Structure 1
Amino acid sequence: MTPRRRATLRDIAAALDLSVNTVSRALAGKDAVSEETRERVRREAERLGYVPNTMARSLVLRNAMAIGLVITNPSNPFYARLISAIEERGRVHGYSLMLMVTEDSVDNERRVAEELMRWGVDGVLAVPVQHGADHWDRLRRSGTPVVLLNRDLPGLDADLVGVDYYDSARRATGLLLDGGARDLYLVEEDLDISPVAERVRGFRTVLDERGVTVGDDHIIRVPTRRRESSSQPWDPVDSYAIGRELAARVGPGSAVLAGNDYFALGVYRAFTEHGLAVPGDVAVAGHGDHPFAAYLNPPLTTVRLPAAEVGATAVDRLLERMGGEGGEAATGAPRTTLLPAEVVVRASTGSTGSTGTEVP
């Protein structure tokens, strides 16, 4: 079956014996077109299934009404919530979303930056791979504002909106210490990225402040899984293997802080199989407050990340840089906005507090 050709303004004009200019003005709601003609054009456009060609319009107006969003890994639940928030906020302001995925590959990221430049999006929100800023700088210097999400990128003159992971790790570690833990372990990703570095820094800082000494072997790195050239760290398999090794080391008064809830899930199973009780023998806390966290046995204490707030704030910051809503594009030095997370206390750290208890 031969696909039907897309209806054009010329088709509507021919059917109604009007000029293309008149049809265009009628559909755009411009003046100098009678209400009767406007209604005739609308009905014929509906009959023909006419859809405006947004790309052609953007070439004429030099305004694509589109925002590029670049993320590293769609399997990360935080980014799933972030995408929804950005799409919703952009739609309110009339912008469509162009989603690109890099899988934490700098080669993919360079290709994505070039494609976004060719497409002519109005602005870009990007979770950077953090290995080179030249491609983002070329995009920015071409006139396309760039706002970084969740990871910093030294050397790039751009705003950053993300989570205060240093503070979240500090508070989660403090909670474990307040619960009586004296032998603490941090289970983290092996990626060289700023959120991981900030959580490690927060963990170490609190231990130093409280006079608790732990060795380097207490910060355990979970290998980032790679299947079919894709980065998939959000899987409990590797943390389960590490948890089995860790189970032989931990004793009474131990606690584990995991960099994400999937890592905590793997550790849970390993400890249970080894005969360790959570939290009776080992307290466990995570990061992310993923949907399953409240349904584990026992329910998992975790850090609830402000994904929606990060997304909405980033869109607003990008619109300022773009000069959206008819205003002047914001200038000046780039700003960093790190939003606070919430520690949700549940039974895995020995607390009987209800879900949603916030640790200040």
Structure 2
Amino acid sequence: MVRKTDGPRRRTLQDVADALGLTANTVSRALNDKPGVSAATRALIKAEAERIGYVPNVHARSLVLGSRKTIGVILTDLANPFFNDLVSEVEELAINSGYTLLLLLSDEDPEREQVAVETALRSGVDGILGVPVQGRSNPWEAVTRAGVPLVLMARELPELGVDLYSNDNEAGRRLTVEAVIDRGARDIVLVEEDLRISTVTHRVDSFHRALEAHGIPFDSSRMALVPSRRTARGASLWRGEDAYRVISDLLDTGRVPDAFLVGNDYFALGLYAALRERGLRVPDDVLVIGWGDYPFSRFLDPPLSTLRLPALDVARRATSRLLALIDGTAEPGPVTEYFAPELVLRASTHR
């Protein structure tokens, strides 16, 4: 016969009270630094709580206070270095303001996004920072209906009428177009992810307008679309080989553009390989500008000119706005704010 034994048990406030022969109310007041408990008793209680490993149950406390001191963060993925930087900064700011994060991922899947939104609401978060999938459905309406403060980052949902903080994708793409035109390029190809989201749409539209502003007609031959991996569960977000295949097909037609502008620096890995196999040199034969300024970009051969994105600015302003909405000190909104990327010029554009 197997004897059933007690497993690990979370230490409770009552355990502290029983160990000291005090009431649970006295222990609670001491641990929460409320008046009515002497300094000596308070020190004794805190020492005992530490000795037995008591950790306050924030969720249970929230039932009394009406707040979990928790911010929900719903992102499409963490493989994107921009979102990685974003959530790291949000977490730092939240912790400094006494909040913890509930991080949920949608994987660019509308159904998983629906689950993430419902989970955040059921968890009683005080507010949500979100990057929407922008799919056919809009689960974010449930957040606004519930009266939970919501701030969007990077991607827009204009119909919601909520705050948005994002990169200025249009200005960023215009900078890259003008940089290669200034260096003599006329035949320019944009290599973008084939994904229908506002960030890509804005970059493509800006590319179109920037070309025509310089007297260069825009047509489909100016675009090289890389199939998106974001909708495949568990797949790497971007891989150089995807761009390699697309660029190889283009170069095999005999066309050698003056410049390639890529939608993220990972695509530049495949682009460099395709050019190198055909004896084409960067920047002597082809100019290249990336997007994102990822950690490896300056170590490519040649180092990649690219656009550095203002992830920290987006995170700081979005988090600050959400905290103000939570505590009721926010100015009337909605607020929309775009932050300018920085063009970082390296050897891939220097002839």
1:146, 1:268 → 2: CA distance?
41
Structure 2: give runs of 5+ residues left out of the alignment. none
Could you tell me which residue of structure 2 aligns to residue 357 of structure 1?
none
Provide the rounded CA distance (Å) in 2 between the counterparts of 1:47 and 1:280.
68
Shift of 1:247: 2.4
The aligned runs of 1:138-149 (5 Å cut-off) are 138-149=142-153
Aligned to 1:358: none
Give the conservation status (yes or no) of the 8 Å contact 2:107–2:231: no
Normalising by the residue count of structure 1, what TM-score does the alignment of the two structures yield?
A: 0.93
- SS for the counterpart of 1:303 is strand
Match of 2:42 among 34, 38, 45: 38
**Aligned partner of 1:173 among 171, 177, 186:** 177
Deviation of the 1:246 alpha carbon:
2.4
Render the CA deviation track for 1:109-140: whole Å, top value 9, x for unaligned: 11111111100100001100112564211212
1:199 offset after TM fit, Å? 0.8
Q: Which residue of 1 aligns with 2:141?
A: 137
Report the Cα distance in structure 2 between the residues aligned to 1:31 and 1:302, rounded to whole angstroms: 57
Pairwise CA distance, 1:2: 5.1
Q: d(CA) in 1 for partners of 2:262 and 2:243? A: 9
Does the 8 Å CA contact 2:109/2:231 hold for their aligned counterparts?
no
Tell me the number of residue pairs that the alignment of Structure 1 and Structure 2 aligns: 347
Query: Percent identity, aligned pairs only?
Result: 44
2:264 to 255, 260, 263: 260
Distance 1:132 1:146, change over 3 A: farther
CA contact (8 A) 1:71 1:126 kept: yes
Consecutive unaligned residues of structure 1, counting only runs of 5 or more, are 352-360
Distance 2:61 2:230 in 1: 41
Matches within 5 A, 1:140-219: 140-219=144-223
**C-alpha distance in 2, partners of 1:348/1:33?**
68
- 2:250 maps to which residue? 246
- Other-structure match for 2:348: 348
Q: Structure 2 vs 1, CA of residues 226 and 164 (structure 1 numbering), >3 Å: closer, same or farther? A: closer
Structure-1 residue corresponding to 2:274: 270
CA-atom RMSD, angstroms? 1.6
The one-letter code matched in structure 1 to 2:304 is: L
Maintained 8 Å contact 2:321/2:330 = no
Partners of 2:144 and 2:150 within 8 A in 1 = yes
Q: Which amino acid aligns with 1:340?
A: A
Distance of 1:14 and 1:345 partners within structure 2: 67
Q: 1:57: Cα distance to partner? A: 0.8
Distance 2:301 2:218 in 1: 28
Residue 298 of structure 1 pairs with residue 298 of structure 2: no
How many angstroms does 1:88 deviate by?
0.6
| Aligned CA distance change for structure 1 residues 202 and 249 (closer, same or farther; 3 Å) | farther
Distance 1:229 1:110 in 2: 16
Partners of 1:217 and 1:90 lie apart in 2 by 46
Give the SS at the match of 1:38: helix
Contact 1:133 1:153 (8 Å CA) reproduced: no
